[in-house]
Amino acid sequence: MQIINLENGMPNTVDAMNTLNNRIYAVRASGARFVKIIHGYGSTGRGGAIRKACRQKLLEYRRKHIIKDLCAGEKLGPFEEEGRQFAARYPEIRSDIDWGRHNDGITIVVFK
């Protein structure tokens, strides 16, 4: 699975969203089926600005059919209904290291 690391270099939210925009199209064009976005959780303990902006942008990409599906890291596992449904649609996701780890700092994206 390819990875887009939005935390690299500790960017501000605008720069991180520019990176997301550029990289999501590049990964999609590469033919990858999945990409893991590392956006972090934020230092405040309540969820950071990059995480919130990233998730909002990913929902927009899904509405525009740029991506097919996504699952927040905290839902990615057998103990959450959303995670179980995601794994039923994409069984190979169960082999990812973050399956069942309740990782609030990532989001998994599926392309068409």
> Which has the closest alpha carbon to 111: 35, 53, 57?
35
- Residue 44 has a pLDDT of 58
In three-state secondary structure terms, 37 is strand
Domains for the chain: give ranges and CATH numbers.
Answer: 2-110 (3.30.1370.110)
CB 76 within 8 A of CB 99: yes
Rounded CA separation 53/18 (Å):
11
Whole-number pLDDT of residue 46: 54
Give every residue of the chain whose pLDDT is below 50, as ranges: none
Q: pTM (2 decimals)?
A: 0.92
71 has which bridge partners? 108
Q: CB–CB of 94/76 below 8 Å?
A: no
pLDDT digits (tens, 9 = 90+) for 4-31: 999 988 899 999 999 999 999 999 999 9
What is the residue type of 55? R
Closest by Cα among 73, 63, 75, 79 to 107:
73
Three-state DSSP class for 110? strand
Question: Burial, 57: exposed, middle or buried (Cβ in 10 Å; 0-12, 13-18, 19+)?
Answer: middle
pLDDT for res 88: 98
